[in-house]
């Protein structure tokens, strides 16, 4: 039997087809526009290189002339004279070898060094790929941490502690003026459950309140599939002057940090990493304020003064820091409504000790006389000690130290 379709029904069908075509066209135009914006961003962030090195992990390291680095896109740095070395190092600075075993392996380095080095007067920059930017929620948010990710051990509201999905196991000092911090950090490759989560171990140099005006300088190692597209352990830095809202970024992904070193690439893979019951590797990081120029400098290991954050980037930190934190942070996105199994540190609890649990050792602060000294009144803090914990101690070789971390989800952490 023939089905009669009225003119009105035909018109309705035609309208639906046109709407669908219009939607598809709109989506296509939106996607094309986003790709065009991504390419524009890549052109801005990837500076012309005099040499490029392929790293075994798939990274491309571009050797960019010091004077052409991303920092100089900042309007306040257009006529900046680069400070090629700090006026002063902190007094009492000593570094030890960064490996605690005697099997004759090379000390900690970066993976890309296996295939070459950058020439003098250039700096190594990890090239940003299209896929890196497309993984971000937006081009504007690429290379930025989420708001409220700094551990606030003074907060008493447990709901506030977990609101951001960030969890921590840290040691901290407050109540004085601090002009820098140092630590030797055990390096691991923690497992990440979801690609939008991360695990990091770092030091924080903080000024201001935990509201909208927080100033933070951060450095350490991280595993972040979202940011880098893999699960490698990488050296990183971060800065913000407004609690992660509009200012600052990871590594050299925006203008701010001025790098002077030709050997170490921010965001590049650290190699080798520690193994459970096996060889232990650690890295030393020092951040301090140059008492003459006022810039905040960073040193990696014994030999590498990496560069500085100009003091004008900050409000509170233009003077000094009011709190120093050391420790681990993970994102708990609560997959399937339960706690993430993303690991912090080695993925093992502090009580397991050396060779099994991750540590920070020889933690120090820089005082107003530019002296490195042991921190006074170290406290510890964790939101959920059944998931990630921290235990501090003190001895002759390691000075002030702590073990930290954990597996995340386990029978006592659901």
pLDDT reported for residue 10: 80
Q: Residue 55: which of 121, 127, 122 has the closest Cα?
A: 127
- Whole-model pTM: value is 0.89
pLDDT tens-digit series, residues 111-160: 999 999 999 999 999 999 999 999 998 999 999 987 667 888 877 555 55
pLDDT reported for residue 81: 93
- Residues with catalytic function: 218, 329
d(CA 391, CA 401): 9
pLDDT reported for residue 146: 78
In DSSP notation, 212-274 reads: S--EEEEEEEEE-HHHHSS---EEEEEEESSTTSSS-EETTSSS--EE--SS--TTPBEES--
pLDDT reported for residue 329: 96
pLDDT tens-digit series, residues 261-288: 999 999 999 999 999 999 999 999 999 9
pLDDT reported for residue 97: 43
The pairing of beta strand 389-395 with beta strand 304-309: unpaired
pLDDT reported for residue 100: 44
Residues of the chain with pLDDT under 50: 97-106
pLDDT reported for residue 157: 57
pLDDT reported for residue 1: 54
Q: For residue 272, is the peptide bond before it cis, meaning its omega torsion is within 30 degrees of 0? A: yes
């Amino acid at each position: 039997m023939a089905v009669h379709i009225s003119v009105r029904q035909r018109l309705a069908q035609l309208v639906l087809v046109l709407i669908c075509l219009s939607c598809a066209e709109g989506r296509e135009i939106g996607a094309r526009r986003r790709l065009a914006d991504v390419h524009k961003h890549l052109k801005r962030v990837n500076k012309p290189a005099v040499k490029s090195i392929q790293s075994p992990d798939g990274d491309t390291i571009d050797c960019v002339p010091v004077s052409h680095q991303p920092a100089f896109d900042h309007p306040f740095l257009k006529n900046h004279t680069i400070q090629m070395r700090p006026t002063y190092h902190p007094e009492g600075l000593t570094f030890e070898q960064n490996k605690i075993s005697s099997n004759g392996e090379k000390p900690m380095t970066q993976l890309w060094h296996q295939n070459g080095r950058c020439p003098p007067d250039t700096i190594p920059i990890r090239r940003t790929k299209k896929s890196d930017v497309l993984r971000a929620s937006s081009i504007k948010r690429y290379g930025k941490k989420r708001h409220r990710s700094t551990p606030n051990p003074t907060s008493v509201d447990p709901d506030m502690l977990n609101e951001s999905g960030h969890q921590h196991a840290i040691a901290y000092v407050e109540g004085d003026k601090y002009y820098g911090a140092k630590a030797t950090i055990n390096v691991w490759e923690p497992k990440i459950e979801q690609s939008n989560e991360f695990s990091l171990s770092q030091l924080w140099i903080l000024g201001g309140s935990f509201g909208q005006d927080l100033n933070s300088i951060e450095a350490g190692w991280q595993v972040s599939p979202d940011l880098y597209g893999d699960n490698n352990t990488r050296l990183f830095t971060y800065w913000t002057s407004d609690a992660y809202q509009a200012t600052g970024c990871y590594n050299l992904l925006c203008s701010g940090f001025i790098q002077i070193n030709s050997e170490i690439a921010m965001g590049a893979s650290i190699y080798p990493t520690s193994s459970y019951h096996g060889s232990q590797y650690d890295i030393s990081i020092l951040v301090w304020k140059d008492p003459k120029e006022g810039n905040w400098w960073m040193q990696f290991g014994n030999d590498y003064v990496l560069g500085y954050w100009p003091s004008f980037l900050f409000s509170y930190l233009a003077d000094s820091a009011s709190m120093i934190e050391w420790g681990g942070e993970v994102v708990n996105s609560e997959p399937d409504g339960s706690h993430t199994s993303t690991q912090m540190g080695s993925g093992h609890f502090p009580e397991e000790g050396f060779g099994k649990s991750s540590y920070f050792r020889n933690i120090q602060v820089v005082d107003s006389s530019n002296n490195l000294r042991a921190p006074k009144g170290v406290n510890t803090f964790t939101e959920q000690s059944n998931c990630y914990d921290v235990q501090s101690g003190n001895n002759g070789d390691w000075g002030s130290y702590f073990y930290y971390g954990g597996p995340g989800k386990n029978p006592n952490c659901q």
